[in-house]
């Protein structure tokens, strides 16, 4: 469990790991079918987050990108690069920060967005996706990184 989400008024029930559900799995490296004959995997971890939940970064760094997870639509991600060049990426977050902002650990970075905008019927499993890339843009298991934050 990480201190990444604080649903309003429910500070104790933080960051519930999404785990397996009927839409697939929120675990790191869970299988995600194939593309062009190659197996695909889930490259991060998902945390249940009711729409409007406050989202906080787990580590200090600088905002280096406000990205689009898909080519269209209103969903966004916030990328924070730490001192080691690791990119900590928080998906489906309406940002309250901008590129160039320097953040402390536990800084407020945005609000959990509504995944029904992309996946109909998802509201029960509304979540943020959290992933980490190292400085060579290889995915890292967030669970290991979180332990020694």
The residues binding Zn ion (CB under 5 A) are: 46, 129
Which C-beta is closer to Zn ion: that of 46 or that of 82? 46
Structure tokens at 128: 């943020």
Please, what is the minimum distance in Å from the beta carbon of residue 129 to Zn ion? Answer: 3
Question: What percent of the chain is helix, strand and coil (3-state, nearest 5)?
Answer: 10, 40, 50
Structure tokens at 56: 């906080």
Alpha carbon of residue 130 to chain centroid:
3
Task: Return the residue nearest Zn ion (CB atom).
Answer: 129
Which C-beta is closer to Zn ion: that of 33 or that of 100? 33
Coil vs helix vs strand at 133: strand
Which C-beta is closer to Zn ion: that of 92 or that of 104? 92
Please, what is the minimum distance in Å from the beta carbon of residue 146 to Zn ion? Answer: 15
Please, what is the minimum distance in Å from the beta carbon of residue 45 to Zn ion? Answer: 7
Alpha carbon of residue 76 to chain centroid:
10
């Amino acid at each position: 469990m990480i201190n990444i989400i604080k649903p309003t008024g429910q500070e104790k029930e933080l960051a519930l790991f999404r785990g397996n559900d009927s839409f697939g799995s929120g675990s790191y490296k869970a299988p995600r079918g194939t593309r062009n004959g190659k197996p695909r995997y889930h490259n991060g971890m998902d945390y249940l987050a009711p729409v409007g939940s406050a989202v906080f970064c787990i580590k200090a760094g600088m905002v280096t990108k406000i990205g689009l997870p898909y080519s269209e639509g209103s969903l966004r991600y916030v990328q924070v690069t730490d001192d080691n060049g690791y990119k900590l990426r928080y998906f489906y977050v309406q940002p309250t920060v901008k590129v160039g902002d320097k953040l402390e650990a536990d800084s407020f970075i945005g609000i959990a967005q509504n995944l029904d905008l992309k996946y109909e019927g998802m509201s029960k499993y509304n979540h943020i996706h959290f992933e980490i890339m190292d400085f060579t843009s290889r995915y890292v298991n967030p669970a290991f990184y979180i332990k020694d934050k």
